[in-house]
Structure 1
Amino acid sequence: MRLPGRLSAAIQVLTDVETRKRPVSEALKSWGLANRFAGAGDRAAIGNLVYDALRRRASHAFAMGEDSPRALVLAVVLRDWQEDAAALNASFAEDSHAPSKLTEQEIQHAGSDLASAPDHVRADMPEWLAPSLLRAFGDNWIAEGQAMSGRPSLDLRVNTLKSTRERAMKSLARFSPQETAISPIGITMPAGPRDARTPNVTTDEGYLKGWFEVQDQGSQIVAALSGAKPGEQVLDLCAGAGGKTLALAAAMTNKGQIFAYDSDRSRLAPIYDRLKRNGARNVQVRAPQPDALEDLVGKMDRVVIDAPCTGTGTWRRRPDTKWKLSPELLNQRTGEQAEILENAVRFVKPGGTLVYITCSILPEENDEQIAAFRVTHPEFTSAAPADLWQAALGQPIPDGVATAGSGLALTPRLTGTDGFYCNILTRAL
């Protein structure tokens, strides 16, 4: 397929997303199944067009004067990919699969700047979230939103139970891997421009042997900040598919015990194969059932909560969720978080540690959630962020990462990662 045909396909996929209200990943998969002639390069390019359109939906729609699938896709190819409008129209005339010719109005709008745009448009955020982001980031909130609208890198965590970073990078040499800037066991492959393809690392020999896992550097960092040590008794209360469980197991060098639990059995299902491939032997999976964790009450050195949240920190990877988020869903998530925090308290032994993590950038789920928790549980004290960072990562904490509530906030602008929040609380003896 040539670019005109890819543009038509991207418009078709976005239309499917809008009319059927389904995730982008499903719409792209459906299009691929219905158009098997398309190669891997075509599918990657179409996916990039669709995701780029959604990442900057507000600013592209403002510039184009509408937010139709056609307007958004044309905005990407003209504003982001810097295609020449006249050359594009010429190529449209030669391709039977091309969209209709660009109008003079569309060409003119594509060249618009955002000087007169409202702040939330320049930040590419839903307007109702502006007060929350202002509380979280102050005058930098627009810049934070703009950074969140870029493409993410592909990050890997080296499994130190089986390999070293040098060995894993040698296996991945054909992809030109780089060492992560912060995580001492991370590998990254920066996102490419335009129609660049993301490396398929899961077919690599190193992945199949358990040398590394796909894991954003931010997730690696908060796992390291959790501070799990060999020999400890650790409860991973929201283990999900086990990404952070595996990181904790490696940090503990397979010594001690991790109890991996999740209230949703289907989310927990992938963990078994992942544990085997990674060689993690100190993990005991607890399936959801009555009294599944009662024998652990008051005995845990460390309880890790990777809390269910709005996922605002992953907007670069799942930009469609940015525009679906509602105040009602945010309220639902904060209620769930408060309930999980309250439940977690009973497992933390005196002098033990409670680790609260979200993949959110919203203060309601982060500092404000912890502040409310500490009102009812004054026996818990947050550790100093700068000390935690230095101890876990061996380097000074970056500016802006420490929050007013003694938490740590990671973002694309501050740390070059997905958005994460972490607060480490110690229970009094």
Structure 2
Amino acid sequence: MSWWTTDETHDPRRTSWVESAQEHQDFPVQNLPFGLFSIEGMRPRAGVAIGDMVLDLPACANAGLLPAAVAPLCAGEVLNGLMALPATQRVALRRRLSELLSDPAHRAAVEPMLHAAVDCTLHLPARIGDYTDFYVGIHHANNIGRQFRPDNPLLPNYKYVPIGYHGRASSVRPSGEPLVRPRGQRKPPEADAPLFGPTVRLDYELELGVWIGLGNDLGTPIPIGQAAAHIAGFCLLNDWSARDFQAWEYQPLGPFLAKNFHSTISPWVVTPEALAPFRIAQPARPEGDPAPLAYLSDSDDQTHGALGLALEVELSSAAMRAGGHAPLRLSRGPASNMYWTVQQIVTHHASNGCNLQPGDLLGTGTISALGRDGYGSLMELSSGGREPITLPTGETRTFLEDGDEVTLRARGEADGAVPIGFGECRARVLPAQ
């Protein structure tokens, strides 16, 4: 099975005997993402989301319901082992899970292994060895660049090299865990010297996360034609940013305290196989742009390497929640607004021989659409703080205030396919300590 082809698990006529899975906005039987969950009195364990339920994978393995080669990997308290599975074994596991959850003949055996999602605590799915954030959202790069370099928003290297930096794996947290407003240095334009204190320009960043599966040996690059085989799945990623700290500290070495205080991910790992119906062609580069260098160039990647996902950002303030207001949607746009594919960033990351490992996390960087209704950060929506956004309560925002809650969502949509989602990526801002 190629990474862009479909099989019986994607059949839109396939339904599950789990009633809540029918037309579920995120987790119909065509999705089957992996995660790490626990209930009271239970240590974290591997699970699969199906509708409003979570399937206990260790229980399935102990009952002899899973492929023999995969069953031992379900016993751990992280998913690194499952992530490292070759694609053929991951496909076999997906097919077996689809069968178990769609064929009523298995209901009596499997139903006791389901837990209500509302009773489950979700955890980071993997032990993250390293986290790297890229900057491949072309419209975001242009929008931010224009605020500082109106006549030359993109630096000369942008169209030749997938720009990235190494982030902080220890501060990645699952959806629902609040973030504390960070303290750091900032230098207002009117000040003669920097100040130390809480950030006053806290921002979100709408990104996709890419989970590494099979790794590579140190010194051995990953060819672009093989990059997809090293991807275990995808999630949503909010790489929170203190814009005032970043403006002061990022030269000459790039982001540091402005970015490493907290990154929020959606806890479900949506597999490449689940996303097969939503593979689309990478958008053509504008006329006059350079072609990718040979090590980043692959015809299959250009034909099938982008993702047909709709990305959304919602905001609710404390006053909105107290008044019963629904969250305000700030933006909606396609994930295809990336100058480089995820396979290209994997290949580039390993091109110097850097060894990627199962459970490593890559971020795409902020993904913005061409128009304002698809911008992926407040830095863009508020034009750097010059144009406030009005909330349903009459409050205004240029950057995030304490008590604000940001939620990211993603949804795969394609003709003839059952839509699937990623679950929410949500966090609330707490005051600085």
TM-score by length of 2: 0.21
TM-score by length of 1: 0.21
* Greater RCO (Cα-Cα under 8 Å, separation 6 or more): 2
Which structure has the greater CA radius of gyration? 1
Which of the two has greater strand per residue? 2
Which of the two has greater helix per residue? 1
